[in-house]
Amino acid sequence: MATQTDKPVVLYTQGTPNGFPISVFLEELKEKYGGPDYEAVAMSIRDADIGKVHNQVKSPWFLEINPNGRIPALTHNGFPVFETSAILLYLGAAFDKEHAFSRDPVSDPQGYSQELQWLFFAHGGIGPMQGQANHFNLYAPEKIPYAINRYLNETKRLFGVLESRLEGREYLLDSGYGIADIKTWAWVRLGPRTGVDLGEFPKVKAWVERIDQRPAAQRGLKVPNN
């Protein structure tokens, strides 16, 4: 069931590299602006979530919020948003009034374009490729070397693109830390679990550690805590 709350924002999530970007960004917004206040609802996404309703993300009430039946999804005063990058962009437009973490398309169209370029790169590249690498390497019932190598090598190639991008930069955009970093970092920090040695990508490793140390990142990584 959808939660009953008086908080303006409800985040339906789980402790995964797709869920964390939203909780981390909400924590950054809270730290900078004092809000929005939000409630995080822990959603079950697979059999292994013992004690929770199996695969709650495919329940009819949740499909009304996210027709794709996946976490994360969010409502703001009842308005539903799904897909990590779309949620990050929505939260930026709705709450990041000083553009501390997200670019303004009107006053800074090139900064905004850079933001979209790196968000799309992570959303269409790193997330799906690293996700498939994890699937074939860690979860598939059958070990298929072709699939394992294909997705692992593609993940490494994408990390190499980040390594070049971070040459002479602390963050992905020229303007500094923001939602493109948050989206990408949530996947890349789990590179070692996927089978990628971050030591091969020293600038990426330093960038991951820089973001790991942010208090909002540490708080966001604990959501949902129920």
148 binds ligand GSH (CB under 6 A): no
Stretch that binds ligand GSH, among 66-74, 160-168, 193-201, 206-214 (CB under 6 A): 66-74
CA distance 90 to 105: 13
Find the binding residues for ligand GSH in span 81-140 (CB under 6 A): 83-84, 123, 127
Residue choice 26, 40, 71, 211 for contact with ligand GSH (CB under 6 A): 71
In DSSP notation, 53-83 reads -TTGGGSHHHHTT-TT--S-EEEETTEEEES
Nearer to ligand GSH, 8 or 15 (CB): 15
Residue choice 9, 11, 13, 18 for contact with ligand GSH (CB under 6 A): 18
Residue pair 123/85 in contact by the 8 Å Cβ criterion: yes
Write down the H helix ranges in 47-194: 60-63, 84-95, 109-121, 127-134, 145-165, 179-188, 191-194
Q: Which two tokens stand for residue 168?
A: 């002479």
Torsion, CA 109, CA 171, CA 82, CA 194, rounded to 10: 150
Stretch that binds ligand GSH, among 1-9, 68-76, 113-121, 171-179 (CB under 6 A): 68-76
189 binds ligand GSH (CB under 6 A): no
65 binds ligand GSH (CB under 6 A): no
Binding-residue total with ligand GSH (CB under 6 A): 13
Q: Which two tokens stand for residue 158?
A: 């994408």
**Among all residues, whose Cβ is closest to ligand GSH?**
70
Find the binding residues for ligand GSH in span 32-51 (CB under 6 A): 45
59 binds ligand GSH (CB under 6 A): no
Residue 69 neighbours by CB distance under 10 Å: 16
Site residues for ligand GSH per CB under 6 A: 16, 18, 45, 55, 57, 69-72, 83-84, 123, 127
